[in-house]
Chain A
Amino acid sequence: MRRSIPLVAVALGAALTLTACAGSDPEPEESAAAEETEAADGGALTVWVDETRQAAVEAAAADFEAETGADVELVLKNFDDIRADFLAQVPTGEGPDITVGAHDWLGEMTANGVVAPIELGDLAGDFADVAVEAFTYDGQVYGLPYAIENIAIIRNTALADSTPATWDEMIAKGRAAGTTYPFLVQVDEKGDPYTMYPLQTSFGAPVFAQAEDGSYTSDLALGGETGNAFATWLKAQADAGVLSTSMTYDIAVQAFADGESPYILGGPWMLEQFADLDLAIDPIPSAGGQPAQPFTGVAGFYVNAQSENQVLATDFLTNFMATEEAQIAIYEAGNRPPALTAAAETVSEDPITAGFLAVGEGALPMPSIPEMGSVWSFWGVTEAGIISGSIEPVAGWEKMVTDIQAAIDAS
């Protein structure tokens, strides 16, 4: 009798376990069943969005759900985490069907095989050429663009009536305005090559050489005479007190908002904090004699290469996110001009947006080739080092080019 007690205990334990299961377990079964019914209704999509885009995508998703009966789940992610998380999770099968992203991730995304091409078909003509080109890799389009962004000179009209065409004139005009700073640009301890890029291109030193059709080759072009001239110029501006590594993004934006400078070099993401200023957007003056061309960044949606809902994902993107309404909603949330031409025309009634669009016409798409991943960190700290005085300009710039080349060769 006593021997049987453990057996009884085990049986009871098992029974309790099973009852407990009955209580808690139906969840997976239920959700599996729910998925099936949903699938019968119209399927389920998972979309990664960041905070800025959340509301706009939510609105489009609601339309999509109403029209197709599909279920769209939005997962809020920090934009900076999306790139690495997407790369890591797609191979495990846990990735989302769709994610927001930037076009310059494209090289890495395709090299790792995590994104699927999207056939835009006739839609392609409805988008700005630069937006579609930015998402094109090796002849295929990999993303549905929604916004185009670039930096420009943001001018406080109360402090300056225009932006001269050359750097020296602008600084002189800035000094004449009598504010604390003649001009503001973020540098930070680790440098900001993205913001500095138009000044660098005005010396004729783009980061990679471009082929005749405008696509980037993997040949570095930021070295040589022109690059060295830019490095020397950086040092001179730092000595003149115009550039400083202690000028971080937050400090620069705050100083401009407080009216401490007539000019700031920055993008539409700053505008929210300048709400009570009267602004104008002007082209970036040339420092080295050639046109100052900033980078164009295109934001868009990528589709997971392993997604089992490709039909639904493509349907959602091409028929619900490529509409004027959806693109304007995203524009209103983030101030970036929409990629859809019709939407861009509508929002161009706003002179600020029109200003950014005008500067964007002369901009260069940010390279999305995989080699670009090896460039950023060397580029930034070298610029910061030259500005802070810890790196000798010409020698430091030449070493940077060698290091970048070595990193590209090694990867």
Chain B
Amino acid sequence: MSSPHVPQATPTDGAPQSDEAGRDVRVVPPRGGASHARTWSRGFLAKLVLLAVVDALGVYVAMAALAQESYGILWVMVALLVVTNWVYFSRRAVPLKYFLPGLAFLLVYQVFVVGYTGYVAFTNYGDGHNSTKAHAVDALLIQNEQRLEDSATYPLAVVEGGGGLGFAVLDGDEVRVGTADEPLADAPDAVVVDGDITEVPGYEVLSRAQVLERQTEVTALRVPYSDEADAGSVRTQDARNGYLYRSTLVYDEAADTMTDTETGTVYEPNRDGQFEAADGSTLAVGWRVPVGFDNFTTAFGDPRYSTPFFKVLVWTVVFALLSVALTFFVGLFFAVVLNDDRIRFRRVLRSFLILPYAFPAFMSYLLWRGMLNKDYGFVNTVLLGGADLNWLSDPWLAKIAILGVQVWVGFPYMFLICTGALQSIPGDLVEAAKIDGAGRLRLWRSITLPLVLVATAPLLISSFAFNFNNFNIIEMITEGNPRFPDASVPVGSTDILITMVYSVSGLDGGAAKNYGLASALSIVIFVIVATISVISFKRTRSLEEIN
């Protein structure tokens, strides 16, 4: 609420100077004069050191990305490094020297996030479609490989021979050995010590360390028990004991189909990212696929979502507007009052008023939640003398309660900026107005308020944008409750868009996860906030020009 950010201010402020600096360089004949980039001045050396540090960090990240096989991060990092070095060692890119840090952070923290959200909005990422197709195939295969009911436990050793890895198993008292291609066969000369197979002729018995080094190969190994496929294959998970397993599902890579070996049903991949049989039944694990505008259609076309969506949208706008307006006017009121010389102990009073701002907002929210409890809360029992107001369960009272807490938490910030703006109003302006015969009200309307508004308008707009997505206050106090009596999705009357997105996406565990739909709704929020911000920034610019 009270920390609107204006992150790109510093680089933009620096830009005009940079132009001038650039022009200066060009005015001087290039061969004769000295450019910052070319002399071995102290500044140049400092730049060299700083860039070396940046490059070192960048190369470190790139190497770490390479080690983790995250090629996206690797290439972005390499590109950023090349651009950085070019910009700071080239004479042509003077403005960029000032812009680049801001642009780089914008790219990483904003463009990427927005882009990824946009991508997810067009997929069906969610429960049942959690990963890639390859993972889904793996998962289906391991889930459908069942231990044979009458399978005994076979203590085993992992061995390696000419045919690759194999298992030597203790079948009763006899040792039998086999590999992926050769079914188990008797190995009469094997040595068994205390139930451990230590030697198998023709094979090398792998040590524990060797097994661990090749874990994935060992767990992937299936040794047929006999020539008959029905007898199953030996498989192990801990490289100590094996059991007989049989797969009930087979994946045909060439045809891209799953076949149930018991019923013979063939499942083909469908457009929703699932394996589907001819009769419409599907296998449990699916994968992520692009679904086009389906998520947007659901958000606006499915009445289960669209009806509460518009109600929530209205409350979100009302909440954001009232939050800004109420905190601003309460803050302005105290600022004006405490700006009057006749008030004593102004410093002490100001410090007291800033206290709620100094208190962590999360704590305030949780404290207020406790204080608003119907039967045990401070508000009802003490402040209202035993009133029976259902602050958190009544739709209207809950909204009022949220706004009340918002004013408590947010007004000190407005108080601070208004105090600053008031003190910067030139005294001669006020005096001139008084000489012109302006009364108190006129002075307030024509001088004080416009000047304060001009100074605070950009902060009010960013405050609005912040409150539009003020997730914390809603989630900490009411969690969006009380629920709409007529809604069929988990959405309530104090939910704002962003908390609705949170419950719809199922992150709170109250519903099945649907990241695709949640991302689509986030995009909609982004568009709304961006539009409002652009319009209002344009308006304030015209306001400033008039002045």
Shortest Cβ distance from A23 into B: residue: B56
Could you say which residues of chain B place their CB within 8 Å of the CB of A14? 55
A113 to B140, CA, bound (A): 7
Interfacial chain B residues near A6, Cβ < 8 Å:
37-38, 89
- Contact with A311, one of B212, B285, B483, B509 (Cβ below 8 angstroms): B212
By the criterion CB–CB under 8 Å, are A311 and B215 in contact?
yes
Q: Contact at A113–B212, with CB atoms within 8 Å?
A: no
Closest 8 CB pairs of A and B: A113-B139, A377-B510, A20-B56, A91-B131, A16-B52, A112-B130, A411-B512, A246-B375
Residues facing A in B379-408 (CB within 8 A) are 390, 392-394
Q: Which of B213-268 contact A (CB under 8 A)?
A: 213, 215-216, 218-219, 236-241, 243
In the complex the two chains form, what is the Cα distance from A278 to B227 in whole Å?
66
**Chain A residues with Cβ under 8 A from B140's Cβ?**
113
- Chain A 276-320 interface residues, beta-carbon cutoff 8 Å to B: 305-306, 308-312, 314-315, 318-319
Interface assignment of B304: CB less than 8 Å from any CB of chain A = yes
Cβ-based interface call for A13 (8 A): yes
B residues less than 8 Å from A73 (CB atoms): none
The distance in angstroms between the C-alpha atoms of A90 and B130, with both chains bound, is 9
Cα distance, A84 to B508, chains bound together (Å):
9
Q: Which chain A residue lies CB-closest to B39? A: A5
B519 at the interface (CB under 8 A from A): no
Interface residues of B in 503-547 (CB under 8 A from A): 503, 506-514
B60 touching A110, Cβ below 8 Å: no
- Is B490's beta carbon under 8 Å from chain A? yes
Does residue B209 face the partner (Cβ distance < 8 Å to A)? yes
Interface size on A, residues (CB 8 A): 85
Assuming the A-B contacts A6-B37, A305-B142, are A41 and B48 also in contact, with contact meaning beta carbons closer than 8 angstroms in the complex? no
* Count of CB-CB pairs between chains A and B under 8 Å: 227
Complex: A312 Cα to B285 Cα, angstroms: 26
A398 within 8 A of B: no
In the complex, which residue of chain B has the Cβ closest to the Cβ of A31?
A: B67
* Supplied contacts A16-B49, A84-B507, A388-B393, 9 more A-B pairs, CB within 8 Å: A13-B48, A20-B55, A40-B213, A41-B209, A68-B208, A108-B513, A113-B138, A251-B373, A381-B481
Assess the B55–A17 pair: CB atoms within 8 A.
yes
**Chain A residues within 8 Å of B, Cβ to Cβ:** 2, 5-6, 9-10, 12-14, 16-17, 20-21, 23-25, 27-28, 32, 39-43, 68-70, 83-84, 87, 90-91, 108, 110-114, 116-119, 121-122, 138-140, 189-190, 244-248, 251, 305-306, 308-312, 314-315, 318-319, 370, 373-374, 376-378, 380-381, 384-385, 388, 390-391, 396, 402-403, 406-407, 410-411
Knowing A13-B52, A43-B212, A377-B490, say if A28 contacts B63 (CB, 8 Å). Answer: yes
Q: What are the residues of chain B within 8 A of A84 when measuring CB–CB?
A: 507, 509, 513
Residues of A near B422 (CB, < 8 A) are none
CA distance A133 to B172 in the complex (A): 29
Judged by DSSP, the binding face of A is helix
User: Do residues A377 and B503 form an inter-chain contact, with CB atoms below 8 A?
Assistant: yes
Q: In the complex the two chains form, is A112's CB within 8 Å of B482's CB?
A: no
Chain A neighbourhood of B37, CB < 8 A: 6, 9
- When A17-B52, A308-B216 are in contact, do A407 and B511 touch as well, CB less than 8 Å? yes
Within the assembled complex, what's the spacing in Å between the Cα atoms of A100 and B26?
A: 65
How far is A62 from B236 in the complex, measured between Cα atoms in Å? 25
Which of B38, B236, B509 is in CB contact (< 8 Å) with A2?
B38
CB distance from B301 to the nearest CB of A (A): 13
The distance in angstroms between the C-alpha atoms of A27 and B147, with both chains bound, is 44
Separation of A374 and B271 alpha carbons in the complex (Å): 24
Digitize B115-132: 1 where CB-to-A-CB distance is under 8 Å, 0 elsewhere. 000000000000110111
Which residue of the partner chain, among B131, B218, B392, B489, contacts A113 with CB atoms under 8 Å? B131
Contacts of B67 in A (CB 8 A): 28, 32
B514: chain A residues within 8 A (beta carbon): 411
Q: Which residues of B contact A396 (CB under 8 A)?
A: 485
Within 8 Å of chain A (Cβ to Cβ): is B2? no
Residue among A108, A119, A140, A391 with max Cβ neighbours from chain B (10 Å):
A119
**Chain B neighbourhood of A70, CB < 8 A:** 212
Tell me, rounded to whole Å, the shortest Cβ–Cβ distance linking B365 to chain A: 14
| Residues of B contacting A373 in the complex (Cβ-Cβ under 8 angstroms) | 127, 506, 509, 511-513
The smallest C-beta distance from A297 to any residue of chain B, in angstroms, reads 14
Which residues of B lie under 8 Å from residue A108 when comparing CB positions?
127, 513
Chain B contacts for A17, CB-based, 8 A? 52, 55-56, 59
Can you report 27 residue pairs joining A to B where beta carbons are below 8 Å apart? A16-B48, A20-B53, A20-B55, A20-B59, A27-B60, A28-B60, A40-B213, A42-B208, A111-B285, A113-B143, A119-B237, A121-B241, A189-B392, A189-B479, A189-B482, A190-B479, A190-B481, A244-B375, A246-B373, A248-B373, A251-B376, A309-B212, A311-B236, A315-B238, A373-B513, A388-B393, A407-B489
Q: Is the CB of A119 within 8 A of B243?
A: yes
Which of B216, B488, B514 has its CB near the most chain A CB atoms (within 10 A)? B488
How far apart are the CA atoms of A113 and B433 in the complex, in Å? Answer: 74
With beta carbons under 8 angstroms apart, the residue of A13, A87, A110, A112 that contacts B55 is: A13
Once the chains are docked, how many angstroms separate the CA of A21 from the CA of B64? 12
Report whether B127 and A370 are in contact in the complex, using a CB–CB cutoff of 8 Å. Answer: yes
Asked if B478 lies at the interface with its beta carbon under 8 angstroms from chain A, I say yes
| Pair A407/B63 contact, Cβ less than 8 Å | no
Q: Does A112 lie within 8 Å of B127, measured CB to CB?
A: yes
In the bound complex, do residue A311 and residue B511 qualify as a contact, i.e. CB atoms below 8 Å apart? no
Residues on A with beta carbons closer than 8 Å to the beta carbon of B215:
43, 308-312
Q: Complex Cα distance A385/B127, Å?
A: 28
**B103 located at the interface, meaning its Cβ lies under 8 Å from any Cβ of chain A in the complex:** no
Rounded to whole angstroms, the CA-CA distance of A116 and B145 in the bound complex is 11
Docked complex Cα distance between A17 and B394 (Å): 63
A122 to B209, CA, bound (A): 25
Interface check B284, CB cutoff 8 A: yes
Is residue B136 within 8 Å, beta carbon to beta carbon, of the partner chain?
Answer: yes
- Among residues of A, the one whose C-beta sits closest to the C-beta of B483 is A381
Chain A residue numbers with a CB within 8 Å of B508 are 377
> Per-residue 0/1 for B123-162: is the Cβ within 8 Å of any A Cβ (1 yes, 0 no)?
0000110111001101110110011000001000000000
Contact B143 A140, beta carbon cutoff 8 Å:
yes
User: Interface centre among B53, B238, B510, by most A CB within 10 Å?
Assistant: B238
Which residues of B are found within 8 Å of A403, using beta-carbon distances?
Answer: 488
Please measure, in the bound complex, the distance between the C-alpha atom of A403 and the C-alpha atom of B52, giving whole angstroms. 61
Interfacial chain A residues near B131, Cβ < 8 Å: 90-91, 112-114
